[in-house]
Every structure is written in structure tokens, then in C-alpha cells.
């Protein structure tokens, strides 16, 4: 359950799903630490969090850098007095066909989407209070791979595997884990696709559909978080109705 003294740390909180999740967790009563690289954007989200009456902490961090992840968690615990919910949401989607791929883009995706999430989880574990919760934002691409998503899907399949292993290891300790698997959501994610044709194709596909908004996924995250302690919502896949 989200209580008035709950503390959440949301990565990738500077835009899209992370920003909305931070605001909705705050509306539900949690104080929220906001992590990402763009400090100015985090400050704008912090204003929205504070407007709900909850406390906001801006913790600029690149989750692909282990020392920054360590500091991110430590600053959250020190400044907000503890930690109850970690939302590992930071991610990049650099879609490319294998034959054309720049391997450094694979490395970036693995380091942000997977290693960053693993490090944040490991650092958070000793601090999570009773009823603690780790929410990992995966994707439909974490269940089904497709053309041009091989590298991205490899990271999200990894997120799913890591989350299930963690669930089994920590169930006896009362840790709750949730995998969130969104379909198409209107965010800045597609802006960084390096291949112009794939980016155009993705944007056309999104334009044809009544896609999800970040708030739709944030609601799923708040639903999973705001359950009694004996209820662990392990997996939620949320697609736009029109996504085949
Ligand atoms: P956005 O691009 O809007 O948000 C991505 C967030 O990740 C930003 O806040 C960005 O902040 C942060 N981020 C990226 N790289 C780093 C880094 N190295 N260190 C810290 N933060 C980083 O896209 P979404 O909101 O869509 O993405 C959120 C999550 O949702 C991702 O994990 C994505 O894979 C997943 N998802 C999205 C879907 C969609 O259709 N949009 C579908 C399925 C899953 P900054 O640049 O300031 O660092």
C-alpha cells in the first residue's frame, strides 16, 4: 500500500512514462526521488510532484554508470528517509536490423535497460523497508521479438528473466516484484531511433493507432504498488486496444 510516509525512486523520470508515474505516485501520497540525466526536465517534474503536496528529490544520474546508481540510491535514502518502491523505468530503444546495427548501440541499450536496472535493484535491496517493491518496466518486446527489435528485445527479455529470478530469491523476505510490459505509448522513446527509415515507419505506425498515453501505464504501476502487502502483482501487459 502507498502510505503518506512511502518513498519511491523512479528512474527515467524526466519524460514519458517515468514522469507520469512520479506524479501519480505522489498523488497517491508517496514522496518521490526523480532520476535521469536531464536535470532541467527533472526539476519540471519535481514542481508537478510538489504541487500534489508530496516531497520531490531531484537526483541527476546516468544509470549506465554504476557509481552514479550507488549515489542515486544513497541520496534517496539519506534525503527522503528510506525507500519503499523502486521503479526501474529508464530505457532507450535504438531499433536497428542486425545486419545494419552499430554494435555500440547494442552496448548502450544493454547498459541502460538491463545493467542499470540490475545495479539499481542490487543497491536498493538492503534499503527497501518492509513491504518493499521493485517495479521493472519491460515491454511487449520483452515477450515477443520482431524485425529490428532484436537488440532492444534482448535487453527486455533480460529484464523479464532478472525480475523472475529476483522474485523467487526475495519472496520469503516479503519483497514484491512487478514487471510492466507496455505496448505502444506516445513518448520520446522513438525520437532516438538511429535508422531514419525505421523511425519513420515507427512514427507512421503510431500515428495510425489510438496509442497509450504515459498516464495509462502510470495507472498500472500505481495499481500494482497500491495493493495490500500480501498481494504481489507480478506482471502486467498493457497494449493499446488497436495494437495487433
Ligand atoms: P522516454 O524517452 O520518454 O523516457 C525514457 C527515460 O529514460 C527518460 O527519462 C530518459 O531521461 C531516461 N534515460 C535514458 N537513458 C538514461 C540513462 N543513461 N540514465 C538515466 N536515465 C536515462 O520514453 P518512455 O517513457 O517510453 O520509456 C520509459 C520506459 O518504457 C523504457 O524502459 C522503455 O523501454 C519502456 N517502454 C516504452 C514503450 C513505448 O511505446 N513508449 C513501450 C514499451 C516499453 P534522460 O534522457 O533525461 O536521461
pLDDT, tens digit, 9 for 90 and up, residues 74-122: 999 999 999 999 999 999 999 999 999 999 999 999 999 999 999 999 9
Task: Write the DSSP assignment of 54-101 as a string of letters.
Answer: --EEEEE--TTSHHHHHHHHHHHHHHHS-EEEEEE---------GGG-
131, part of any domain:
yes
DSSP conformation class of 244: -
pLDDT value at 170 more than 90? yes
The residue to mutate among 11, 12, 69, having the most atoms of ligand 1 within 8 angstroms of its beta carbon, is 12
Cβ of residue 62 lying under 6 Å from some atom of ligand 1 = yes
244, part of any domain:
no
34, part of any domain:
yes
3-class secondary structure, 134: strand
Indicate which CATH number applies to the domain containing 165.
3.40.50.720
Domain of residue 178 covers: 7-237
* pLDDT for residue 17: 99
Quote ipTM for the complex: 0.99
pLDDT value at 153 more than 90? yes
* pLDDT for residue 162: 98
232, part of any domain:
yes
* pLDDT for residue 55: 98
Query: What is the average pLDDT score of the chain?
Result: 97
pLDDT value at 191 more than 90? yes
Separation between Cα atoms, residue 224 and residue 178, nearest integer Å: 7
Whole-number percent of the chain with pLDDT over 90: 96
1, part of any domain:
no
Separation between Cα atoms, residue 46 and residue 190, nearest integer Å: 24
* pLDDT for residue 110: 98
Cβ of residue 107 lying under 6 Å from some atom of ligand 1 = no
* pLDDT for residue 130: 87
pLDDT value at 6 more than 90? yes
**CA of 18 relative to ligand 1 center, distance in Å:** 7
**CA of 164 relative to ligand 1 center, distance in Å:** 22
189, part of any domain:
yes
Give yes or no: 152 in active site. yes
Cell numbers standing for residue 127: 534499503
242, part of any domain:
no
pLDDT interval class at 32 (50, 70, 90): very high
* pLDDT for residue 160: 98
118, part of any domain:
yes
Whole-number percent of the chain with pLDDT over 70: 100
Residue 188 has a CB neighbour count (10 Å cut-off) of 10
Task: Give me the catalytic one of 90, 118, 152, 184.
Answer: 152
Total domains in the chain come to 1
Amino acid at each position: 500500500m502507498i502510505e503518506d510516509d512511502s518513498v519511491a525512486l523512479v528512474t527515467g523520470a524526466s519524460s514519458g512514462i517515468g514522469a507520469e508515474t512520479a506524479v501519480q505516485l505522489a498523488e497517491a501520497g508517496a514522496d518521490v526521488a526523480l532520476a535521469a540525466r536531464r536535470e532541467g526536465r527533472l526539476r519540471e517534474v519535481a514542481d508537478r510532484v510538489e504541487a500534489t503536496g508530496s516531497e520531490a528529490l531531484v537526483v541527476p544520474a546516468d544509470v549506465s554508470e554504476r557509481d552514479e546508481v550507488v549515489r542515486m540510491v544513497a541520496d534517496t535514502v539519506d534525503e527522503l528517509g528510506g525507500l519503499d518502491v523502486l521503479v526501474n523505468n529508464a530505457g532507450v530503444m535504438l531499433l536497428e536490423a542486425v545486419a545494419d546495427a552499430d554494435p555500440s548501440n547494442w552496448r548502450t541499450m544493454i547498459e541502460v535497460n538491463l545493467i542499470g536496472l540490475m545495479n539499481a535493484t542490487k543497491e536498493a535491496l538492503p534499503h527497501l523497508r518492509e513491504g518493499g517493491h521493485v517495479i521493472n518496466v519491460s515491454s511487449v518486446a520483452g515477450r515477443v521479438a520482431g524485425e529490428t527489435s532484436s537488440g532492444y528485445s534482448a535487453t527486455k527479455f533480460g529484464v523479464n528473466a532478472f525480475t523472475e529470478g529476483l522474485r523467487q530469491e526475495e519472496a520469503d523476505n516479503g519483497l514484491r516484484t512487478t514487471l510492466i510490459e507496455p505496448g505502444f505509448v506516445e513518448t520520446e522513446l522513438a525520437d532516438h531511433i538511429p535508422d531514419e527509415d525505421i523511425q519513420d515507419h515507427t512514427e507512421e505506425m503510431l500515428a495510425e493507432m489510438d496509442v497509450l498515453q504515459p498516464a495509462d501505464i502510470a495507472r498500472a504501476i500505481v495499481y500494482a504498488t497500491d495493493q495490500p502487502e500480501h498481494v504481489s502483482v507480478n506482471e502486467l501487459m498493457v497494449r493499446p486496444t488497436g495494437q495487433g
